[in-house]
Amino acid sequence: MVSFGVNPISIIPFRLTLIMMDDRRARISKLLHSLADEIMALLPEEKGSGHPAPSPVEEDRLLTPEEAATFLNLTVEQLRRRNIPKKKLGRRTLRYSLAALRRYLART
């Protein structure tokens, strides 16, 4: 018999540890799958497909002062005097967020 200097009895705890780790992995995997199933059951589904309906995304783009004034039915001068959030892109370049303008309209 060839001996490699390893006592077979000392390998047993190592094997038991591997078996226990495999058992934990299997239990964690089952828990994750059941959690995913529960989450999917809570999401709204599109009719005819097994996929959740996409959430509506608010369109946002930057408008020039002229476009923003037209959107709010104001003159450019009236727009500048109002406390409406704006972004300064350069020394003289102002832009207004379409989403911010919609929020402003909803507030007033």
The per-residue pLDDT for range 52-104, each reduced to its tens digit, is: 555 555 568 899 999 999 999 999 999 999 988 899 988 889 999 998 898 88
Q: How far is CA 52 from CA 35, 36, 47, 59, 93, in A?
A: 16, 13, 9, 21, 41
Token duo for residue 41: 């059951």
Q: Which tokens is 67 given?
A: 């476009």
**Predicted pLDDT at 48:** 54
Partners of 95 in the beta sheet?
87
pTM of the model as a whole? 0.46
> Any residues with CB less than 8 A from the CB of 21 and at least 6 apart, and which?
none
Sequence-distant (6+) residues with CB within 8 A of 31 are none
Q: For residue 8, is pLDDT > 60?
A: no
